[in-house]
Structure 1
Amino acid sequence: MQDLLLKSIEDIYDCITDDDYDHDRAIATLSIATDSTGFVLSKFWPLLGGKPPIAYHNLPDDTIRALAKYDDTDEVNEHAMFKNIIMLPERMPMLRRAFLSDEEHYRTLLYETAAKPWGIHSEGVVILNKDERSNLACWFARMGGQSEVDSELLTRISFLNNHLARSMKLQNKISVLNKAVIRSNSALDLVDFGLLLFQHSDSPVFINKPAQDMCSYKDGLDLNKGGLVVQNNCADHQYNQLIARMGDTNIPLSERSGGLVRAPRPSGKTPYNVMAIPLSNSTSGLFPNVNIAVLIFDPELKKTNATEFYMKTFNLTQAEAMFAAELAQGMSVSEYVEKKGIKISTARTQLKSIFAKTETSRQAVLISLLLRSIAGVNLG
């Protein structure tokens, strides 16, 4: 049994992914480790909110459909278990019969429609989490022909549900971090220079879009599995020596301070300036342990304009972004209406949408936000 529980814990944490939590696999794992107990993972009040559960295992589909319909009825509101469920402590399994006797339960519509046809018994619930954002419960029941839930089985249910709750919270933290990385990457994609980040001299852990674009032209620079390649042999040798010195702790610090390499371009355009700089080993956050940054400057790179910036940053439409750019330059709404030849109602609708997307409500605050957001970006 101990080996089964340890394997089940491992499987539960394996349900954490880069994208989303594998709820179906987690609930199936719980069932297998608790002698095929049936489980339903759902928002706990109302029971399923008239919607399908997040996941379930080893319970009939008809039972789940019956539970989904069993919502906002007088019986739900008066059911002793549902009336008291908000008071239950988290992570503690609670049997239905602690609130409602078998005789009372047998007279309910819930029993008639969701339990009786399949001999379902020993119903209970574990509250995984109670807060304003994610109220979750893991309901459990035994099928006809299965033994009653005993103390040993309740202990297993409690133990594994505790790990289920922890793993789901960990998934939430990972998802938040992934969103932060995406937002950070988006910001780094808006700067007008290429950026590559390295852990020592290994392959880059991050390459922003301008760097990818510069290398895609094959005009003096390229990318491979090892990172940046300067197509001019002499300049590439200088670049690789520069990177190697920065990662060599056996040489004096003064020789590991970075430097600049000019990368000639076969097209005859002005060479790229490739600058490598060391970063502190304490650098952490979204890119932990990064200690080398390579910046690529293209003297002929077309600057990012304010309209494009506002579209990318605040998810504005092109028309909204153009309006925002004019407001940031000091134009009034009436002046914009006259310039564009549009109705004042159209401009007000656009402004309302801009307020919503930028999470502002006053024009002065909006303009301040627009100006501050482009302060660190070189705009054309």
Structure 2
Amino acid sequence: MLTLAKSEKGRTAAVTEETADDILSMQDAGKHVGYEKLDRLLGAIYEGPMESPPWSTALQQMRDVLEASHVTLMLRPPSSESQGVMINTGKVNQQATESYETHFFALDPFVRLPEGEVITAEELIGKQQWLKSPMYQDYLRPLNIRHLMGADIYTKEGIECRLRLTRPNDAATFSPEDKALCRFLLPHLKRSLRLHARLDYLECDRQLFAGAINRMLLGMISFGQDGSILELNQEAQRILGEKDGISRSGSGIALSSNQENRELQRMLRQALTGGATGTGPAVVEAMSVTRPSGRAKIGIVVRAVPIGKWSESKQRPAAAIFLRDAESSGAQPSQEVVRRLFGLTRMEAALALLLADGLTLDEAAEQLNVMRNTARTHLRSIFCKTGVTRQTMLVRMLLNSVVSLG
């Protein structure tokens, strides 16, 4: 017999085997599918946010346990504005998937299901109406899909996620026990979806700031507690790849100069120790790296990454090194950004960027293919619009503005 279970609203309901919306207890769920299988399935649900695509293992295990042809998780249901994001298991017909994303989603009556309810399409709209629907006749039937069961998940973060399971024509309908097991899994999947949303938010933040650092041509290398490199951005890869005074060495980095290398390793050890204790060096340490090629030195800043209050992972960043190559010539900032930021014309924006890049007025005029007097006229207009009175002030203002982020 199934046991008593509490709904999400806290109501206690008597659950029987004949009730379509039964909720299995953990003990009954274990008996129904086997404790080992249930443990693996729940583990896969919570590890799903770290997979790519997410929940692929959990959906496959759910498909096996419920003997379904397909299990589909629509993280973002298709709409007229977007094809959505769907994760499919089972034998997937790519053409059929694209047909649903571009056309049949609008004909699908099996949507906007009550929160937390597990229901079949026939229960929702009636057997005859479902079997006569264009969704079944034109889309599912040719794919040998007869039985459709699903549930929708809604969260306070605005997530609307759809879980759909199918069986073919020659299979049995989904039983009350199948629906009870599916309903048992829903709260766990909902929690995992919220974890995924949080991780996605943090990853978006990370990508945004990583992109800004790359645009500023600042190399960054993060180190684990053992001093090994965890991550390095695009600019750091470029600098290390040149092997001009600084390069990768095993799992860390090394400098060509033995004296400079000893100093860098001392600074790094101190930062790692400070990060582990939460104290860190009182002053951020810095040094310059000599390049055998004779090019300008590379500036280095080393700082600890303070440990969080609840941090426990040994793979967290414990220290970071920032690199600056004074001779690096990255992507030219957008003229459109400069034009909009300071109210300049396109010619004025082009001239301002050339001056910020180190060209003299004569050199900039030659590159723009204009007379020197014309360039001086544009420069006076730039001064008027930006409020500066000297070329050095203009260059300083451009370099200190948000132009490099554009």
TM-score (norm 1): 0.62
Deviation digits for residues 243-292 of structure 1, max 9, x if unmatched?
334444799x898756444433323445444443445434999xx95443
Does residue 1:267 correspond to 2:299, yes or no? no
Q: Equivalent residue for 2:319?
A: 292
Q: 2:86 aligns with which of 31, 40, 54?
A: 54
What is the CA–CA distance in structure 1 between the aligned matches of 2:71 and 2:291, rounded to whole Å?
64
Say if 2:222 and 2:230, in contact at 8 Å, map to a contact too.
yes
Q: Equivalent residue for 1:90?
A: 115
Cα 1:166–1:94 change in 2 (3 A) is: same
Say if 2:222 and 2:317, in contact at 8 Å, map to a contact too.
yes
Cα 1:60–1:273 change in 2 (3 A) is: closer
What is the CA–CA distance in structure 2 between the aligned matches of 1:235 and 1:44, rounded to whole Å?
53
Cα 1:136–1:289 change in 2 (3 A) is: closer
Cα 1:129–1:377 change in 2 (3 A) is: same
Q: Equivalent residue for 1:352?
A: none
Q: Equivalent residue for 2:221?
A: 196
Cα 1:276–1:46 change in 2 (3 A) is: closer
What is the CA–CA distance in structure 2 between the aligned matches of 1:266 and 1:309, rounded to whole Å?
28
Q: How do 1:165-184 and structure 2 match up within 5 A?
A: 165-184=190-209
Q: How do 1:156-167 and structure 2 match up within 5 A?
A: 156-167=181-192
Quote the offset at 1:235 in angstroms.
2.0
Does residue 1:32 correspond to 2:64, yes or no? yes
Q: Equivalent residue for 1:240?
A: 265
Does residue 1:11 correspond to 2:44, yes or no? yes
Cα 1:131–1:223 change in 2 (3 A) is: same
Cα 1:94–1:377 change in 2 (3 A) is: same
What is the CA–CA distance in structure 2 between the aligned matches of 1:94 and 1:213, rounded to whole Å?
55
Quote the offset at 1:126 in angstroms.
0.9
Q: How many residues align?
A: 325
Does residue 1:155 correspond to 2:180, yes or no? yes
Deviation digits for residues 275-326 of structure 1, max 9, x if unmatched?
43445434999xx95443334455xx23768xx463xxxxxxxxxx224435
Q: How do 1:361-380 and structure 2 match up within 5 A?
A: 374-375=400-401
Cα 1:335–1:93 change in 2 (3 A) is: same
Does residue 1:322 correspond to 2:335, yes or no? yes
What is the CA–CA distance in structure 1 between the aligned matches of 2:91 and 2:273, rounded to whole Å?
61
Quote the offset at 1:27 in angstroms.
3.5
Q: Equivalent residue for 2:12?
A: none
Quote the offset at 1:188 in angstroms.
1.6
Say if 1:284 and 1:290, in contact at 8 Å, map to a contact too.
no
Q: Which amino acid aligns with 1:220?
A: G
Q: 1:216 aligns with which of 214, 226, 241?
A: 241
Over the matched positions of the two proteins, sequence identity in percent amounts to 14
What is the CA–CA distance in structure 1 between the aligned matches of 2:82 and 2:320, rounded to whole Å?
52
What is the CA–CA distance in structure 1 between the aligned matches of 2:332 and 2:157, rounded to whole Å?
35
Quote the offset at 1:93 in angstroms.
0.2
Cα 1:309–1:200 change in 2 (3 A) is: farther
What is the CA–CA distance in structure 2 between the aligned matches of 1:95 and 1:54, rounded to whole Å?
20
Q: Which amino acid aligns with 1:3?
A: E
Quote the offset at 1:229 in angstroms.
0.9
Deviation digits for residues 321-377 of structure 1, max 9, x if unmatched?
22443554553469779x989xxxxxxxxxxxxxxxxxxxxxx9xxxxxx8995378
SS of residue in 2 equivalent to 1:213: helix
Say if 1:246 and 1:257, in contact at 8 Å, map to a contact too.
no
Say if 2:228 and 2:251, in contact at 8 Å, map to a contact too.
yes
Q: Equivalent residue for 1:185?
A: 210
Q: Which amino acid aligns with 1:36?
A: A
Say if 1:20 and 1:171, in contact at 8 Å, map to a contact too.
no
Quote the offset at 1:32 in angstroms.
0.8
Cα 1:122–1:329 change in 2 (3 A) is: closer
SS of residue in 2 equivalent to 1:293: strand
Quote the offset at 1:6 in angstroms.
1.8
Q: Which amino acid aligns with 2:38?
A: L
Quote the offset at 1:135 in angstroms.
3.9
SS of residue in 2 equivalent to 1:54: strand
TM-score (norm 2): 0.59
What is the CA–CA distance in structure 2 between the aligned matches of 1:133 and 1:103, rounded to whole Å?
34
Larger deviation: 193-202 or 228-237?
A: 193-202
Q: How do 1:315-354 and structure 2 match up within 5 A?
A: 321-326=334-339, 328-332=341-345
What is the CA–CA distance in structure 1 between the aligned matches of 2:183 and 2:340, rounded to whole Å?
58
Quote the offset at 1:71 in angstroms.
6.4
Cα 1:235–1:34 change in 2 (3 A) is: same
Quote the offset at 1:92 in angstroms.
1.5
Q: Equivalent residue for 1:349?
A: none
